[in-house]
Structure 1
């Protein structure tokens, strides 16, 4: 850390010189304007007024025809989430048809365009302006999708609705798309302090936002797992006994109310509501105990296995919702309310 002395200019003004290396790095000159922003801890952030969010970051990924799709996907996602605007994928020989299809699918999922494509390389570019993406609105949209999936889950289970279960599974892609976009926004903001003012997001909000985004994604994944298990029950022509079905529906309905309250507590920074719903989690243990008692009497191993899996996924959803409620309490404390 470099230290510099304050110099008096006139009777009451104090000034400090900027490091020459930093000035050169940002291509600043006499009479240029810099922005100043006071941070929550009292420190002062200095950055060029030029928009740094849209600054170009480019990377080239080299792959082979034998590289598996998972490896290619992980590399592209890693650079995307860390703020790279242009990602060039180059093959040592020729991109296979499957690799080209994969890259196009990823570009669509990540809101990127294919700006150049040959037999051996494809170039993906993000044209999104992160400063135009409202964090709270996007989080609410992500929540709304998963909330509707949760509601449809009850209907699908109650009516053994195969088409509805398939629709629930298909919505997971939309949740993933929002998740990648928001993770990119939040990681970029944390990595580049100068973007905080432009994006109108504080570091604390970034950390809370990361927790909520990740847990909403976990909730969606577990909802999809349950929908797939319901599809299995339907396809095998099985039906849950009436009493067991009612217990599962009750578990779902309590989970939906829990989710709605936790997210509202986060958006409104309501720690009192968060504490209240966290203390109400005993209802899930009570229903779970009744489900286990019921399973002892069941003869069909398919029903027993499906119920255990669904119950496990519901407990994972409750855990994720609890973390959202806890994030609301942390957000409240950081706001000093």
Structure 2
């Protein structure tokens, strides 16, 4: 790192000299134009080349290039999500032939998990999708808060009279919120303004936020599978202590993410966790036992990432990151 003093020229212009090695390395001469970009954190980025900031706002894709000769439509969802994650606002899918019913159905089902999207045009050979989301108004901690609330609702549903339709609705919304979280994380990597407005704030936190989001989705999926198993087999479950433990830990972790990270988060462990594992080991239904084991495993993974977030936040606060 090099330091430079600001100079005032003719009483009106502020000037900073460039490092000589950097100028020579980039073959710059007097009169050459460079680019200066101000980031949301007030830092300036100097580029040795003058350029216009490029942004991929729209894309047109021939679905025939992605479904293969056998008409495998499974690639369509990942490709649509990839476009969604990087902030493309207009996605056109077309075919030289007629778009099959299966392809159109697959597209519509995928859009259910893409917040703020709609089909703006459709004919036999083409579908145009618009993403109408205002990215600058979406805060990542609030997405996590909503996911946490929905998981709690599903757990409470399981401990009382099971309403499988309500749990299915919760699961669908959590899937949609997970993809929205992934989108905001992806955009934060490429746009410092989104990094700031999303309340992620620092690149050092991005990986842990992503892993935490994914494990929350995994935990939610497992609760959903457990509820379907109980509903299908008409199984009675008397595991309120385990459910209450999971619900309280989810609530504790989510509150930490939403609030300022002023202290190191304490991961579950010790006697309390041992007692829960012992209760799980006594469950006679082995399938149900495995579901609970997976839930606890995902819960520990989530809290590992929250510990990381709390540690990185301390370093950020001290100016090390």
Q: 1:218 to 1:138 in 2, by over 3 A?
A: same
Distance 1:46 1:140 in 2: 38
Root-mean-square deviation over aligned CA pairs:
3.4
Residues 1:284 and 2:285 are matched in the alignment: no
Q: Could you tell me how far 1:37 is from its partner in structure 2?
A: 4.9
Decide whether the 8 Å contact of 2:56 with 2:88 is kept in 1: no
Distance 1:66 1:283 in 2: 53
Q: 1:56 to 1:308 in 2, by over 3 A?
A: same
C-alpha offsets along residues 28-71 of structure 1, whole Å, 9 cap, x if unaligned?
A: xxxxxx645556xxx53479xxxx89862424242358433322
C-alpha offsets along residues 226-273 of structure 1, whole Å, 9 cap, x if unaligned?
A: 111211321xxx545xxxx2xx22111111111111221222245657
Q: Could you tell me how far 1:82 is from its partner in structure 2?
A: 2.0
Structure with the higher fraction of residues in helix conformation? 1
Q: Could you tell me how far 1:167 is from its partner in structure 2?
A: 1.8
Show the counterpart of 1:145. Answer: 150
Q: Could you tell me how far 1:179 is from its partner in structure 2?
A: 1.4
Distance 2:232 2:98 in 1: 40
Residues 1:264 and 2:255 are matched in the alignment: yes
- State the SS of the aligned residue for 1:109: coil
Show the counterpart of 1:30. Answer: none
Residues 1:308 and 2:267 are matched in the alignment: no
C-alpha offsets along residues 265-298 of structure 1, whole Å, 9 cap, x if unaligned?
A: 22224565722xx254542333323442x35xx5
Show the counterpart of 1:329. Answer: 310
Unpaired segments of 5 or more residues in structure 1?
A: 24-33, 299-303
Question: Which of 53, 56, 73 in structure 1 is aligned with 2:77?
Answer: 73
Report the TM-score when normalising by structure 1.
0.73
Unpaired segments of 5 or more residues in structure 2?
A: 19-30, 48-52
Distance 2:264 2:314 in 1: 14
Residues 1:127 and 2:132 are matched in the alignment: yes
Show the counterpart of 1:217. Answer: 217
Q: Residues 127-276 of structure 1: matches in 2 within 5 Å? A: 127-155=132-160, 159=161, 161=162, 164-193=163-192, 195-196=194-195, 201-204=200-203, 205-234=205-234, 238-239=235-236, 245=238, 248-270=239-261, 272=263, 274-275=265-266
- State the SS of the aligned residue for 2:63: strand
Q: Could you tell me how far 1:168 is from its partner in structure 2?
A: 0.8
C-alpha offsets along residues 283-331 of structure 1, whole Å, 9 cap, x if unaligned?
A: 2333323442x35xx5xxxxx2333232223223322432353244234
Distance 2:218 2:245 in 1: 18
- State the SS of the aligned residue for 1:94: coil
Decide whether the 8 Å contact of 2:34 with 2:46 is kept in 1: no
C-alpha offsets along residues 177-235 of structure 1, whole Å, 9 cap, x if unaligned?
A: 1111221122112123354456565234544432332232122112112111211321x
Show the counterpart of 1:117. Answer: 122
Q: 1:36 to 1:309 in 2, by over 3 A?
A: closer
Moved over 6 A (4+): 52-55
C-alpha offsets along residues 153-179 of structure 1, whole Å, 9 cap, x if unaligned?
A: 222xxx4x3xx1332123111111111
Decide whether the 8 Å contact of 1:37 with 1:46 is kept in 2: no
